[in-house]
Each structure stands twice: as structure tokens, then as C-alpha cells.
Amino acid sequence: MPEALFSELLAATTGLLLLSATLQVWRRSLTASIRLLAVQGVALAGLVAAIGLHDHELELLPVALLVLVLKAATMPWVLSRVSRATGATREETPRMNPTSALMVVALLTTLAYVVSQPVVAVNPGPASRAVPIGVALALIGFLVLLTRRRALSQLIGFVVLDNGIAAVAFLTAGGVPLVVELGASLDVLLIVLILRVLTSRMQLAFGDTDLDDLTELRD
């Protein structure tokens, strides 16, 4: 694969990752956030496929397919089932208003860029130059985890965090063995499924999944 095309593909997929994460912080609608998760999954799969084709590591192509199935199809489907079950379609009152959250996204991206300079310097190349975006994605996932009240939003934040970590792993290592990726992804899927069940139980028991109300532990 020619270098120029590889750079273009990298730029397109990582740009899409960052843009979808920003839109998730901006929008209040949970259905939109879940759809953006699917977009992120597609972008991540594209990223993996591009790296595989460029580095001639054909084992990354099944990994890309796995990522696509898991992150672009399965998890959004599970999360939309949770959304339908709990009836939560909008994040009404986030803890941080969207304007401040967007300013924090800009600052986190800057921080990611500053912090990743040593990583980029170790192995300069188009792939490692895109590492700051992965770090930014992880930080934005954390931001979503911190500033949302609904359990579903926090699930979405958790998945974004995982996407960011996966992006950094692929960009720096240039490939994670299929077994490792399989293990990590199944772990995440398991967590999401368990949390889905828990969320439904919370909804039944307390009538609402606003985490600010659930601050006292009970038997």
C-alpha cells in the first residue's frame, strides 16, 4: 500500500474517531450516542485493516473483522436494548454543561498531544503520529464516564475508553495478536452484558437509573 494512501486512510479513520467522540460529548440524545458508537467501531475496524494491509500482516484482517462485528454491531445493539428497556433516550442533566464539556475536550486533546510526544519520538512514522488521537479518545471516554448521571451513558463512556485504548494499542504495536484481541474484546463484551443486566435490575428495584440517587449502599 503506498505511503500516501496509508496516511490518508489513517487520517480519515482517526479523524472520524475523534469527531464521533466529540459529537457524543456534545449531544444529549442517547440514541445518537449509541449510533456514534457504531460509527466509531467502523472507523476502528478501518484503522486496523489499513495497518494490516500496510504492514503486510494479514492476520490483522480477521482482527479487523472481529472489531467490526463486536464494536460496530454487537455492542451498540446491546446498548440500544438497554436503552429501550429502561426508557432512557436522553441525558437530561449532565453534571457539566455541554459548553464547558466541549472546552474540556479541546484541552484534553491538547494534553494528549503534549503527553504523547515521547511516544511519537520513539518510532516516528504516520501510524505513531496518530497516537495522540487514541490517547485523546481514552481521555474523552473518561470525561463521559465522569460527567454523566445515567448508567447507560457511563456504559457508553466505558466503551469509548476501550476504543481509545485499542486504537493506541494498534497504532503503537502495529498489531496485536488475534488471541489477545479476542480475549480483550470478549472481556469487554462480558462486562457490558453484566452491566446491562445490572442496569435492568436497578431499573426494576429503584425505578430510575440516575446514579446520583444511588449513593447509599443497601443490603
Partner 1 sequence: MTLLILVVQAIAMVALTPVLIGAMRQVRSRLEGRVGAGVLQPWRDVRKLLRKETLRAEGTGGILAAAPLVLMASSVLLCVLVPLVSTRTLPLVPDDLFVVVSVLLIGTVALALLGLGAGTAFGGMGSSRHMTIAALVEPTVLVAVYALSIPVGTSALSSIVQARVKDPAGLISPVSLLAIVALVLVVLAETGRLPVDNPSTHLELTMIHEAMTLESSGRDLGWLELGSWLRLTALLGLVVNLAVPWGVAIHLNAGSVLLGLVAIVLKVVAAGLLVAAGEVFTAKLRLFRVPELLAGSFVLAFLAVTASYLVA
Partner 2 sequence: MTAVETGLLAQLALATLAVVAALVAPPGRRSLAAGSATVLLGLAGAVTGFLAMTGGTGAIRVPVALPLLPSLSPLVLAPDRLGGLFMLVAGAVAAVAALFAIGYASGPVASRTGWSAFAVFLLGMQLVPAAGDVVSFLLAWELMAVGSAILVLAEHRKHREVRSAALWYTVMTHLSFLLLLAGFAVLAAASGHTDFASIGRAGIGGGTAGLAFVLLSLGFVTKAGLVPVHVWLPRAHPAAPSHVSAVMSAAMVKMGIYGVLLVVLRLLPGGPGWWGVLLLALGALSALYGILQASVASDLKRLLAYSTTENVGLIITAVAISMLLRRTQVTAVADVALVAALLLVVSHAAFKTVLFLGAGAVQHATGERDLDRLGGLSRTMPTTSAAFGVACLGAAALPVTSGFVAEWVLLQALIHGGGRENRLVAVAMPITVAIVALTAGLALLTFVKAYGIGFLARPRSEGAAHAHEVAWPMRAAMTIGAVAVVVLGLAPGPLAVTLGRVVGAHGIESAGLLGLNLPAVGALLDPIALALLALGLAVPLTVVAVRAARRRPRRVVELPWGGGGIRVSPRMQYTATSYAEPLVRVFDDALQPTRDLEVSHEAESRYLVNRVQFRQSLSDVVEDRVYRPAIALLARVGERARSVQNGSIHRYLGFSFAALTIVLLVVTW
The single residue among 97, 186, 204, 213 that binds partner 1, judged by CB under 8 A, is 97
The grid coordinates of residue 141 equal 471516554
Nearer to partner 1, 20 or 185 (CB): 20
Amino acid (one-letter) located at 88: A
For residue 155, the minimal CB distance to partner 1 (Å) is 23
The single residue among 32, 62, 66, 129 that binds partner 1, judged by CB under 8 A, is 129
Q: 117 contacts which partner out of partner 1, partner 2, none, CB within 5 to 8 A by kind?
A: partner 2
First to last CA, the chain: 59
- Assign 5 to helix, strand or coil: helix
Q: 8 contacts which partner out of partner 2, partner 1, none, CB within 5 to 8 A by kind?
A: partner 1
By the rule CB under 8 A, 142 interacts with partner 1: no
By the rule CB under 8 A, 99 interacts with partner 1: yes
By the rule CB under 8 A, 113 interacts with partner 1: yes
At residue 63's C-alpha, the angle toward residues 61 and 68, to 5°, is 95
For residue 106, the minimal CB distance to partner 2 (Å) is 8
Please check whether residue 89 is in contact with residue 73, taking contact to mean a CB–CB distance below 8 angstroms. Answer: no
140: Cβ contacts below 8 Å, ≥ 6 apart: 21, 22, 24, 25, 105, 108, 160, 164
Q: 93 contacts which partner out of partner 2, partner 1, none, CB within 5 to 8 A by kind?
A: none
By the rule CB under 8 A, 102 interacts with partner 1: yes
Q: 15 contacts which partner out of partner 2, partner 1, none, CB within 5 to 8 A by kind?
A: partner 1
What are the counts of helices (DSSP H) followed by strands (DSSP E) for the chain? 9, 0
For residue 188, the minimal CB distance to partner 1 (Å) is 26
Which backbone phi and psi does 209 adopt, to 5 degrees?
A: -115, 30
For residue 177, the minimal CB distance to partner 1 (Å) is 27
- Assign 57 to helix, strand or coil: coil
- Pinpoint the alpha helices (H) of 27-150: 30-54, 60-67, 75-86, 98-122, 126-129, 131-147
Q: List residues binding partner 1 (CB under 8 A).
A: 4, 7-8, 11-12, 14-15, 18-19, 22, 26, 97-99, 102-103, 105-106, 109-110, 113, 129-130, 132-133
